[in-house]
Amino acid sequence: MLLTPLFPVLLGIAAAPPPQPIDSSPVTRPQSVLDIPDPIAPAVLPYLACLYDVRGLPFVLGKDRTQISFHKSNGNCTEERQRAQANAIALLQKNQASGHVEPRAYVENALSKVDEFVASLPVGQHAETSGHEPPVGVPFTLEDEVKPAYNHYEDCLKTQVSYTSLTIATIMSVFKQAMAVCWSVRASAVADAENALSQKGWDEATRARAAENTFATADQAWLEMGRQFHDSLVARMKSGHKQP
């Protein structure tokens, strides 16, 4: 199970007219990916979502395009981590999926990687720590087998944006136009993803549904990234921030 975060750091823009082109590299540069072992992903994702919330980052989208729920106690995720550990160990023991690794060590290794990954991300706008730029985008989950097909579609979207001069007024139209231009690439990627998912032994209907849901979630995350990028730049302009 992979988590695609889409977390660039915002750059400044000029506050005075005429509108200045915006550097699109914050939304087109390569992004890091967190790989959560499939056997324990259902147990670990709520903990990941909790960490994102505490850090002030956007919510995590599951395969069904809904926000992954979690429980936060006393402003931290200690209890959610304990719950994730217990549930993940139970899943491994039930399915005998940890191989030759002791289940507790297998789970702790996965949780430690989650901790390290989230700690490396920017701090969001509503987190207690201030002085950091807010991230942009919505992280979402996808099957490991689908990642190559998704990369093909994402590369097309980012290429279209990188070749276009952006201003605050045009950000959303450019993001939507990128989706329109890349529609045939998306269709091909969905077909490739459906074929790749055959490795899981799923029937045709299940593969088709999973592939389409993945790319529908990718579309949702892409447009949300555009909206957040736009809103953050507007907020910075209103606060009087200017490019050095």
Q: Are 35 and 19 in contact (CB under 8 A)?
A: no
Other C-beta atoms lying within 10 Å of the C-beta of residue 45: 22
Q: Is 58 part of a structural domain of the chain?
A: yes
Q: Are residues 155 and 233 in the same domain?
A: yes
Q: Are residues 163 and 208 in the same domain?
A: yes
Q: Are residues 144 and 229 in the same domain?
A: yes
Q: Are residues 111 and 165 in the same domain?
A: no
Query: Which whole number is the average pLDDT over 90-112?
Result: 84
Q: Are 154 and 29 in contact (CB under 8 A)?
A: no
Q: Is 112 part of a structural domain of the chain?
A: yes
Q: Are residues 178 and 239 in the same domain?
A: yes
Can you list the alpha helix ranges (DSSP code H) found in the chain?
25-28, 41-54, 78-95, 103-119, 147-162, 171-181, 183-196, 204-238
Q: Is 223 part of a structural domain of the chain?
A: yes
Higher pLDDT, 113 or 232: 113
Q: Are residues 18 and 79 in the same domain?
A: no
pLDDT at 32 over 50: yes
Looking at this protein, which amino acid is placed at residue 112? S
Q: Is 147 part of a structural domain of the chain?
A: yes
Concatenating the DSSP letter of every residue in 101-125 gives S-HHHHHHHHHHHHHHHHHTSPP-T
- What is the residue range of 19's domain? 1-32+140-244
Query: Which whole number is the average pLDDT over 115-121?
Result: 87
User: Interhelix angle for 183-196 vs 204-238, to 10°?
Assistant: 130
Q: Is 91 part of a structural domain of the chain?
A: yes
The tally of domains found in the chain comes to: 2
pLDDT one-digit tens code per residue, 56-97: 887 777 777 778 888 888 788 999 999 999 999 999 888 776
Query: Which whole number is the average pLDDT over 214-238?
Result: 86
List the single range of 46-55, 91-100, 145-154, 176-185 with lowest mean pLDDT.
91-100
**What is the per-residue pLDDT for 4?**
63
Q: Is 228 part of a structural domain of the chain?
A: yes
**What is the per-residue pLDDT for 121?**
79
Q: Are residues 210 and 91 in the same domain?
A: no
**What is the per-residue pLDDT for 5?**
57
Alpha-carbon distance of 80 to 94, in angstroms, equals 21
**What is the per-residue pLDDT for 2?**
62
Q: Are residues 161 and 235 in the same domain?
A: yes
pLDDT at 129 over 50: no
Starting at the edge strand found earlier in the chain, the sheet holding 2-4 runs 34-35, 2-4, 140-142
Q: Are residues 24 and 41 in the same domain?
A: no
Q: Is 239 part of a structural domain of the chain?
A: yes
Q: Is 135 part of a structural domain of the chain?
A: no
**What is the per-residue pLDDT for 8?**
42
How does residue 128 score in pLDDT terms, banded at 50, 70 and 90? very low
